[in-house]
Amino acid sequence: GIERMCRLAGVSRAGYYRHWQASQPAREETAVRDEVQRLSLEHRFYGYRRITALLRQSGWAVNHKRVQRLRQTDNLLCITGRTFRPPTTDSRHRFSVYPNLARKMMPTGANQLWVADITYVRLAEGFVYLAVILDAWSRRVVGWALADHLKADLALAAIAGARRPGDRAWRTGAPL
């Protein structure tokens, strides 16, 4: 067995066992590295923490620092999903940009200046656009509209929903 092979190779039996024990951690490191690579490719959006959790569930005794080191040395960085932001403004158009005259105005009472904005509201599944018209003096909402599109109809619906104090449907503090 081992004694005869050591004699033929010209190595002491103690030297052989010392080398064999020293190579065990390298084998284990290779096995862990293989598993980290497999899991990283299987779960491309997982970071080192999730990969560590998967390894531990599979029975591997690893900590997050080791997994992070292996992923960095093997260049197995996860793909970061860019958060989706729906467009609200298209600044690349052929139309001339008009100066913001409202910026210089200082209203002294209600309904002298209305300002508007469009934003999006994230829902459980998707998003909707919200067009709001505010009274610049009181900062109250005077009109608003929701839609799943960003067309002129959305802004027109918000304007149509805006009421003046003389209108019968005027209620302060409540959306109309």
Which element (helix H / strand E) includes 141? strand 141-147
Q: Are residues 37 and 99 in the same domain?
A: no
pLDDT tens series, the chain, 176 aa:
888 989 999 989 898 888 877 777 778 888 999 999 999 989 988 999 999 999 999 999 999 999 999 999 888 877 777 676 777 677 788 888 888 888 889 999 998 999 999 998 888 888 899 999 999 999 999 999 999 998 999 999 999 988 655 555 444 444 44
Tell me whether residue 99 is in a domain.
Answer: yes
Q: What is the pTM of this model?
A: 0.47
Shared domain check, 111 and 62: no
Element (H, E) at 35: helix 13-42
Inside any domain, residue 80 = no
Which residues contact residue 157 at a Cβ distance below 8 angstroms, ignoring those fewer than 6 apart? 131, 145, 147
Out of 16, 47, 73, pick the residue that ends a domain: 73
Q: In sequence order, what DSSP letters do the residues of 120-133 get, joined into one string?
A: EEEETTEEEEEEEE
Q: Are residues 89 and 176 in the same domain?
A: yes
Q: Both 17 and 102 in a single domain? A: no
- CA–CA separation, 162 and 171 (whole Å): 11
Q: How many structural domains is the chain composed of?
A: 2
One domain, residues 66 and 97: no
Tokens linked to 10: 């010209």
Domain range enclosing 58: 2-73
